[in-house]
Amino acid sequence: MFKQQFLRLDGFTRAERIGLTYRVSEAINQAGAWITDFHQYSNILICINFQVPIVNLDKLAATLQETDLQLSQESLAQLMPDHDSMLKEQELIGTLQITFIHNEPDLLRDVPAVPG
Whole-number pLDDT of residue 110: 75
Sheet of 6-13, strand order: 34-41, 45-53, 91-100, 6-13, 70-71
Whole-number pLDDT of residue 101: 94
Report the share of the chain in percent with pLDDT over 90.
Answer: 68
Whole-number pLDDT of residue 1: 40
Whole-number pLDDT of residue 23: 97
Q: Which residues in the chain show pLDDT less than 50? A: 1-2, 85
Q: What pTM did the predictor assign?
A: 0.83
Whole-number pLDDT of residue 65: 94
